């Protein structure tokens, strides 16, 4: 009998285990205070590194969140990534909700009246949003984000060269995706993990929206992974992800029904032990972050639907806005002087 058909043991998630093993103070979000104060970034992970949980499997290095078994599993599905009726069908159906959720997050921001990204140069038109899509896979979200009128550029990264080959080949079908500049194309794919991606040298080249869709439950060291992603979010920008809650309901729907019974997704796609609950993410980003959560439910024949409160059962979106410390200080000064921005 397959392990997924046995009742799972309710053990702490990797994220919670890591936080228990190393009690660190968190900053605005996305890095530990110790790391930020010492000037470390994702390429100097001695401070960001949290302990590995016992349930982790093979990773590519001692400081990497990349799990080699996960990469092998999804690389085998690369050729069918863009088949809307294939194994990636749930991702295709979920994609519109991804954009809706990001739009809701941006609309909820106090800075929504003005674009997060500044003009590229004095006297030029204010540009749109700069996206970083982490664990982009075959590019379902990355391509659609690049086509949106409010987008300046999309950088999409994935550690699987096989999957990126499919993504690049598909993107060539649309000439509009080849626009932009040599330094910053409209859409670019990079074979990298978040730990190996160079941090932009200039603060204005950080990203307005960093996305991790259906990724965090597939990595090793998720707490350190989230911290590393946070370095790339500009102050006032958003870290947006989707994942699955670790509940009895999600075990039944994703492991038993989706994989074993209905075969909607290939066996081995999900590891229930690596699921993360929304409350655990809230605790991880508790210092000054502004969380937004939206539960979604898959309805056969209708696709994904927003259902309030369902984040406690299974799939959900989660986002936090990175505090703009400089702006916060200025707002406080202005309030003290009776000035309204």
Which positions make up the binding site?
A: 98, 135, 158, 213-214, 217-218
Please enumerate, by residue number, every residue annotated as part of a binding site for S-adenosyl-L-methionine: 98, 135, 158, 213
Are 241 and 318 contacting, i.e. CB atoms less than 8 angstroms apart?
yes
Please enumerate, by residue number, every residue annotated as part of a binding site for Mg(2+): 214, 217-218
DSSP H/E element including 336? helix 325-336
Backbone angles phi, psi at 94, to 5 degrees: -80, -20
Round to whole Å and give the CA distance between 55 and 69: 13
- The 8-class DSSP code of residue 193 comes to -
Alpha carbon 168 to its chain's center: 20
Round to whole Å and give the CA distance between 65 and 326: 31
| Tokens coding 132 | 């970083």
- Strands (E) in the chain, as ranges, are 129-134, 151-158, 187-191, 207-213, 233-244, 290-299, 303-306, 315-321
Cβ contacts of 67 within 8 Å, gap of 6 or more? 56, 57, 58, 59, 60, 218, 219, 220
Are 8 and 249 contacting, i.e. CB atoms less than 8 angstroms apart?
no
């Amino acid at each position: 009998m397959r392990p997924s058909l046995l009742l799972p043991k309710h053990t702490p998630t990797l994220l919670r285990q890591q936080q228990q093993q190393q009690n660190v103070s968190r900053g605005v979000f996305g890095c530990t205070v110790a790391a930020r104060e010492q000037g470390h970034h994702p390429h100097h992970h001695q401070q960001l590194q949290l302990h590995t949980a016992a349930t982790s499997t093979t990773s590519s290095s001692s400081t990497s969140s990349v799990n080699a078994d996960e990469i092998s599993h999804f690389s085998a599905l690369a050729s069918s990534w863009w088949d809307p009726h294939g194994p990636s069908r749930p991702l295709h159906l979920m994609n519109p909700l991804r954009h809706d959720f990001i739009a809701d997050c941006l609309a909820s921001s106090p800075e929504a009246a003005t674009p997060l990204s500044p003009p590229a140069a004095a006297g030029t038109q204010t540009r749109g949003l700069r996206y970083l899509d982490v664990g982009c896979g075959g590019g379902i979200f990355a391509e659609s984000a690049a086509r949106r009128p409010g987008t300046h550029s999309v950088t999409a990264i994935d550690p699987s060269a096989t999957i990126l080959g499919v993504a690049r080949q598909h993107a060539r079908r649309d000439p509009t995706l080849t626009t932009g500049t040599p330094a910053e194309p409209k859409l670019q794919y990079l074979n990298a993990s978040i730990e190996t991606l160079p941090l932009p040298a200039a603060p204005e080249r950080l990203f307005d929206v960093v996305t991790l869709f259906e990724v965090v439950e597939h990595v090793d060291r998720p707490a350190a992974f989230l911290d590393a992603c946070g370095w790339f979010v500009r102050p006032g920008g958003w870290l947006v992800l989707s994942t699955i809650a670790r509940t009895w309901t999600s075990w039944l729907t994703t492991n038993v029904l989706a994989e074993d019974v209905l075969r909607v997704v290939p066996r081995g796609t999900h590891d229930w032990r690596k699921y993360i609950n929304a409350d655990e993410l809230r605790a991880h980003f508790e210092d000054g972050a502004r969380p937004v959560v939206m539960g979604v439910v898959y309805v056969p024949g209708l696709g994904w639907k927003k259902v309030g409160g369902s984040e406690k059962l299974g799939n959900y979106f989660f986002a936090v806005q990175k505090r703009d410390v400089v702006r916060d200080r200025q707002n406080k000064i202005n309030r003290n002087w009776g000035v309204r921005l």
